[in-house]
Amino acid sequence: MRYADAVAGIPWETIEAVRRRLQEKPALHFIKGEFLPSESGETFPSLDPASNEVLGHAARGGEREVDRAARAAHEAFATWSRTKAKERKRYLLKVAELIEKHADELAVMECLDAGQVLRIVRAQVARAAENFAFYAEYAEHAMEDRTYPVDRDWLYYALRVPVGPVGIITPWNAPLMLSTWRIAPALAFGDTVVLKPAEWSPFTASKLAEIFQEADLPPGVFNLVQGFGEEAGAALVAHPLVPLITLTGETETGKVVMQNAARHLKRLSLELGGKSPALVFADADLERALDAVVFQIYSFNGERCTASSRLLVEEGIFEEFVAKVAERARAIRVGHPLDPETEVGPLIHPEHLERVLGYVRVGLEEGARLLVGGRRATRSFRGEDLSQGNYLEPTLFVGENHMRIAQEEIFGPVLLAIPFKDKEDALRKANDTKYGLAAYVFTKDLERAHRLALELEAGMVYLNSHNVRHLPTPFGGVKASGDRREGGFYALEFYTDLKSVALPLRPPHIPRFGK
C-alpha cells in the first residue's frame, strides 16, 4: 500500500527500509553490550497485524539468556550504582536525544509491529524521549531525603540507595513508551536493567538497545532478553540476582508473577488491567464529553489500559448522548495504521481479535443491545481491502453493569453504555468492578466532581478531560489494576531502598551488660 510519497512527513524510503530490516535481521538479545542470538538458535515470528504476514523474527530466550543478562546486570550494578549522578544524567540525556534522532524509524517499526496508528505512535516516541529527559533531571537530586534532629543529642537521617538489577516486563500495546517509562527511572536512580518485552511486538526493544549502544552506555547496564512470558519472563521473575520486578500486563499475569516473585521475596510493581468508567452528567459540556469518551475508547485501537470502556450516562440525556456516540463510532476511520488519516487500526493478533469478537458474542447472549459495529472491518475508509488484517469495526453496546462485557477487560474498541439515575447510582455502578485503574467524570458541578474524585475507587481520576499524562504525578491503579505508583518521585520508592542512619551528637548512655 502506498498512501502518499511521505506518510505524515516520514519518507516512504524509511518505511521500506524498516520493513526490509525487520525481514532481514532478527531482533536479538542484548547482553553485556552485545547483540546475541539464543544459545539454541531458536527464533519466533512476529506478525504484521495489518496483513498477518510475518514481519520478522525475534530470538527466543529462556533461562540461559536470562541468566547471562542477570549476571551482566549484577556485575554492571557495582559500577553504575557508584557512577556520579551527573554522569548518569549525561547518558540519559544522550539516550533522549538519540530517540529523537531515530524517531521516524522507531515510529514506523512500532506502527508496523503493534498495529498502532502512526499519529498515536509518533506521540509515543516523543514521550519515550521525554521519559529519559525527565528522569535525567531527577538523577542529580532524587537521593535527597529527610533529616530528623532529636533535641541537640541525635541526628538521624534517611538515605536513598539503588537496589540492583530491575526486571522490566512489558505488554504489547505500547512497548516503547511503557518500557522507557521504567528503564529511565531505574537507570537514573542507579539500578541496572533486564528488559523482557512482549512476544507480540518485540522489535522496538531491539532498536532501543541499539540506541543504548550508540549512547555508549557501559555494557551490562541495560540488557534485553526477547522471548515468551512463560519462558523468558518466568525465568526473570525467578532469577535470584534480580531483586525488583516491574510488570505491566493482564491482571491474571500479575497474579502468577506475584506468586512466583513471592518465593524469592522480590519487590514488585504491578500495572495491570482496567475497566474504567466515564461518568457523564446532564449538566456537562456534552460536546467535550463526547469528544473525550469517543477518543478514550476508540483511540489506540481500544488497546489502552486506561480506556474508558464503561460509559455511564445520566438517564435524562442517555438516549440522546448515546445516539451521538453511535454516530461518531460509525464515522471513525478504520484503516492501515501507516495511513495518516486512519483513526483505528488492526488489533495486535488474530488470537486477540478472536477474543474480542468472543466478547461481542457474549454481549449479544447477555441481552446487550448492539448499536454499532461488532464485526470484522473488511474495507478501510478509503475502500481498500482489510480482510487479511485483524480489523474490528468500532463497537457500541447498551447494557447493564452486571454483564460480563461490563465486568471483564476486553482491550479492544468495544464500548458499553449504561444509564444511571443520580450521583449515588453512578458511583455505585462505577465502583462495582474488580478493577480500579482510572475514572473520568464530566459535570460542571465542581462540588460533585471533587466529591466523586474522592469516592471513586480508581488510582487516577480525570475531571472533564480525557487521560492526559503529566510525568511527575503518580500513575497506577487500585484493586485488581495494580498496587504501586510510578511516575515522578513515586518511582523512587520502587527503584531505591530507604536507609535510616543514626548519629549521636553526644555519647548516648549505653547499658553495660556483663560488667
Which of 231, 303, 305, 409 is labelled catalytic? 305
Assign 3-class secondary structure to 59-111. Answer: ECCCHHHHHHHHHHHHHHHHHHCCCCHHHHHHHHHHHHHHHHHCHHHHHHHHH
Nearest Cα neighbor of 343 from 376, 313, 302 is 302
Assess 408 for contact with ligand NAD (CB under 6 A).
no
Residue 499's DSSP bridge partners are 159
Assess 274 for contact with ligand NAD (CB under 6 A).
yes
Nearest Cα neighbor of 70 from 40, 27, 29 is 29
- Shortest distance, CB of residue 477 to ligand NAD, whole angstroms? 6
- Shortest distance, CB of residue 127 to ligand NAD, whole angstroms? 13
- Shortest distance, CB of residue 103 to ligand NAD, whole angstroms? 21
Stretch that binds ligand NAD, among 26-34, 211-219, 272-280, 338-346 (CB under 6 A): 272-280
Assess 226 for contact with ligand NAD (CB under 6 A).
no
Which of 110, 130, 231, 271 is labelled catalytic? 271
Assess 172 for contact with ligand NAD (CB under 6 A).
yes
The residues in 473-492 that bind ligand NAD, with binding defined as CB under 6 A, are: 477, 482
The residues in 380-399 that bind ligand NAD, with binding defined as CB under 6 A, are: none
- Shortest distance, CB of residue 175 to ligand NAD, whole angstroms? 9
Assess 409 for contact with ligand NAD (CB under 6 A).
yes
Among 26, 115, 229, 389, binds ligand NAD (CB under 6 A): 229
Assess 248 for contact with ligand NAD (CB under 6 A).
yes
The residues in 125-154 that bind ligand NAD, with binding defined as CB under 6 A, are: none
The residues in 302-331 that bind ligand NAD, with binding defined as CB under 6 A, are: 305
Which residues fall within 8 angstroms of residue 446, CB to CB, at 6 or more apart?
none
Stretch that binds ligand NAD, among 35-43, 84-92, 132-140, 194-202 (CB under 6 A): 194-202
Assess 166 for contact with ligand NAD (CB under 6 A).
no
Nearest Cα neighbor of 116 from 396, 378, 303, 307 is 303
Q: Which amino acid is at 239?
A: H
Stretch that binds ligand NAD, among 28-36, 37-45, 242-250, 371-379 (CB under 6 A): 242-250
Task: Cell 542529580: give the residue.
Answer: 140
Which residues fall within 8 angstroms of residue 145, CB to CB, at 6 or more apart?
157, 158, 159, 160, 498
Assess 277 for contact with ligand NAD (CB under 6 A).
no
**C-alpha cell of residue 310:** 464503561
Segment (H or E) for 137:
helix 118-141
Which residue number, 268 or 312, has a Cβ lying nearer to ligand NAD? 268
∠ Cα 387 105 376 (to 5°): 15
Among 22, 106, 128, 169, binds ligand NAD (CB under 6 A): 169
- Shortest distance, CB of residue 233 to ligand NAD, whole angstroms? 2
What's the rounded Cα separation, in Å, for the pair 375 and 392? Answer: 6
Q: Provide the angle, in degrees to the nearest 10, between the axes of the packed helices 118-141 and 175-188.
A: 10
What's the rounded Cα separation, in Å, for the pair 2 and 10? Answer: 12
What's the rounded Cα separation, in Å, for the pair 373 and 240? Answer: 49
Among 7, 120, 183, 234, binds ligand NAD (CB under 6 A): 234
The DSSP string of 308-329 is: --EEEEEHHHHHHHHHHHHHHH
Stretch that binds ligand NAD, among 48-56, 250-258, 293-301, 389-397 (CB under 6 A): 250-258
List the strands of the sheet with 414-420, edge to edge. 369-372, 395-398, 414-420, 310-314, 277-280, 438-442, 460-463
Among 92, 186, 257, 289, binds ligand NAD (CB under 6 A): 257
Among 62, 164, 202, 249, binds ligand NAD (CB under 6 A): 249
Assess 230 for contact with ligand NAD (CB under 6 A).
yes
Which residue number, 253 or 342, has a Cβ lying nearer to ligand NAD? 253
Cβ 160 vs Cβ 496: under 8 Å: yes
Which residue number, 248 or 433, has a Cβ lying nearer to ligand NAD? 248
Q: Is 114 strand, coil or helix? A: helix
Q: Is 149 strand, coil or helix? A: strand
Stretch that binds ligand NAD, among 203-211, 245-253, 420-428, 499-507 (CB under 6 A): 245-253
To the query of whether residue 111 is one of the catalytic residues in this protein, the response is: no
Which residue number, 73 or 449, has a Cβ lying nearer to ligand NAD? 73
Which residue number, 104 or 409, has a Cβ lying nearer to ligand NAD? 409
Cβ 292 vs Cβ 278: under 8 Å: yes
Assess 202 for contact with ligand NAD (CB under 6 A).
no
Assess 238 for contact with ligand NAD (CB under 6 A).
no
Cβ 70 vs Cβ 242: under 8 Å: yes
Which residue number, 130 or 199, has a Cβ lying nearer to ligand NAD? 199
Among 233, 277, 373, 399, binds ligand NAD (CB under 6 A): 233
Cβ 165 vs Cβ 194: under 8 Å: yes
To the query of whether residue 271 is one of the catalytic residues in this protein, the response is: yes
Residues annotated as part of the active site: 271, 305
Chain residues binding ligand NAD by CB under 6 A are 169-173, 178, 196, 198-199, 228-230, 233-234, 237, 247-250, 253, 256-257, 271-274, 305, 409, 411, 437, 477, 482
